[in-house]
Chains A and B, each alone.
Chain A
Amino acid sequence: MALSSEQVRHVAALARLALTDDEVEALREELSQILAYAEQVGEVATDDVPPTSHPFPLANVLRADDPRPSLPVTDALAGAPRAERDRFHVPRIVVEQP
């Protein structure tokens, strides 16, 4: 199926990608072409075939619930672009109503 620019912008918003207008246009064409090819799966996949999400049937794998040291806070924060008072720093999330 051919995607519209609006659809590409909608998906980009879901994917948290601030695309430029040029990127939207390029992706509209490329995704339309790739999805048209991928739609071949509909030719053979019928409802009586169960889907496979994982190569082997896996049940929950549990380990012993033994306490052990976790990653020190300083190590966990070492790669953060901004950290403050042992926390990750992000822009304001909650906005006050005027």
Chain B
Amino acid sequence: MTAALTRATAVELLAAMGAGEVAAVEVVRAHLERIAATEERLHAFLRVLDEPALAHAADVDRRRAAGEPLGALAGVPLALKDILCTAGVPTTCGSRILEGYRPPYDATVVARLRAADAVVVGKTNLDEFAMGSSTENSAFGPTRNPWDTSRVPGGSSGGSAAAVAAFDAPLGIGTDTGGSIRQPAALCGVVGLKPTYGLVSRYGLVAFASSLDQVGPMARTVTDAALLLGAVAGPDPMDSTSLQEPAPDLLGDLDRGVDGLRVGLVAEEIEDGMAPGVRAGLARAVEALERLGAKVADVRLPHAGYGIAAYYLIAPSEASSNLSRYDGVRYGLRVDGATTEEMTARTRDAGFGDEVKRRVMIGTHALSAGYYDAYYAQAQRVRTLIMRDFAAAYESCDVLLGPTSPGTAFPLGAKIDDPLAMYLNDVYTVPSNLAGAPALSLPAGLDDGGLPVGVQLMAPALGEPTLLRVARALEAELAFDPTPRGARSSEEVRA
């Protein structure tokens, strides 16, 4: 029974709880037991919220029995990335500089999840301040991939991806500045969606790069991802960059199929050096879409290849400004010094990890006198060119298709000493962040080593309904089994 509960999707759990077949407390307890059984090998969570989760679930059960109204995700366990503020509950961003910090308020996404009665079972591990592609940059130790615990789960939302893949929770919340939802989703064999910029509020999301950051859903099915996005999307008066119009209907068109839909295959990405297993996964997706009646044709994004260069100037520049708030004065760590300036500089050197320092330094340099025009301003011009490429592509296509990541999950330690190699993990994902457009990663089978392969679907701004519809059709056709299997998988763990 317990195993069946953790295997279930959010949709299935909602149906079972709604029919009175199972109580929210049983559902949540089953997932907490699963977390206890897998966590020693995976380290997906920085903090498991056993007691508050069970109390929330008991409250859901009580209100259901009393006939009181319940939210759209009532009783469904959810893994929350530890970069969203939770009132009174430690929020670390995977950084020593925020160790012990308890925010005085909830992020809008957290408040909406609570209003939807989703039960937050824990806060998940991440690369420090969401800077990384492997979750190895967490100050509190790496997360491991449920498919092979000698490998990374991707990042920066590696904790949420691993938790969803390991059946610790059917739903996860991640954030994506340059691929941090989609790349770990691909490496862990789950669905991950980066929404249109502004569709989900950033209020209470600890800022990394404000013109790129978005919060989005992770799940084992497309329908669950759509359901979760629907619960958190929409305008927020507390975020002046949130889109003013109501969120589009995400579920209505989900099963309409793809007959006649025009899919653009990104030619530059095909010519690029992706791993053979990724190439094979992409070919499976193309064949499946053609069988379903979609028209697949090559399309070009001539400037997408400059995306990484532009991104690694723009994102660090914004980060260097955003992270100036960690000054040892208002919250978090302080290392004493004779002057305020010395105290701040010592605090930041002690509190930030190597990758965060690297990016603060790149950004500070790129914005400094004499370099601004050559670096930051030029990168912003490339951003314009990439947006124009997308606009031209969408004149002849409804969605674009390509790989999510050049390879499958790599061993821990393989890229940690080569920052540029690590950055190139994001080569296919950053263009959508630069354009502010939605993109989704979907599992498309396994490579020869038994590791999940992800394909990426992209759409114009607010094209989420189309994106989810294509993903849903592809998911049904590809029939991916999300159960991690193999000698070093979390399935070897005996509860």
Contacts and interface: CB of A to CB of B under 8 A. Distances in A.
Contact of A80 (B309, B312, B329): B329
B362 A18 contact: no
A53 interface: yes
B357 A75 contact: no
Contacts of A88: 329-330
Interface size classification for chain A = 35 or more
A41 B197 contact: no
Interface stretch (B50-58, B249-257, B381-389): B381-389
Contacts of B328: 81
Given A18-B349, A44-B306, A53-B211, A79 B332 contact: yes
B383 A52 contact: yes
Nearest to A89: B329
A34 interface: yes
A41 B345 contact: no
B487 to A, nearest CB: 36
Given A40-B309, A55-B197, A91-B337, A15 B364 contact: yes
Interface in A10-41: 11-20, 23, 27, 30-31, 33-35, 37-41
A51 to B, nearest CB: 3
Interface in B329-385: 329-334, 336-346, 348-349, 352, 357-358, 360-362, 364-366, 368, 374-375, 377-385
A43 B303 CA distance: 11
B361 A41 contact: no
Given A17-B345, A41-B381, A79-B101, A56 B197 contact: yes
Contacts of B225: none
B368 A11 contact: yes
Chain B interface SS verdict (over half): helix
Contact of A18 (B197, B340, B348, B385): B348
A38 B334 contact: no
A27 B340 contact: no
Interface string B73-91: 0000000000000000000
B382 A41 contact: yes
A7 B381 CA distance: 26
Contacts of B381: 41, 45-46, 49-52
Contacts of A53: 211, 380
Contacts of A12: 361
A55 B318 CA distance: 14
Interface string A38-81: 11111111100111111110101101000000010001101111
Contacts of A51: 377, 380-381, 383-384
A45 B420 CA distance: 22
B240 interface: yes
A21 to B, nearest CB: 12
Contacts of B436: 54-56
Given A27-B357, A38-B309, A16 B345 contact: yes
A14 to B, nearest CB: 5
A85 interface: no
A46 B103 CA distance: 44
B102 interface: yes
Contact of B348 (A7, A16, A41, A52): A16
Contacts of A55: 197-198, 211, 387, 434-437, 461
A92 B348 CA distance: 19
Interface string B196-231: 011000000000000100000000000000000000
16 contacts: A11-B364, A11-B368, A15-B360, A16-B341, A16-B345, A19-B349, A27-B357, A34-B423, A43-B306, A50-B381, A55-B198, A60-B240, A61-B244, A90-B329, A90-B340, A91-B336
Given A45-B381, A52-B380, A81-B328, 9 more contacts: A11-B364, A16-B344, A41-B313, A41-B382, A44-B306, A45-B379, A56-B243, A56-B436, A79-B331
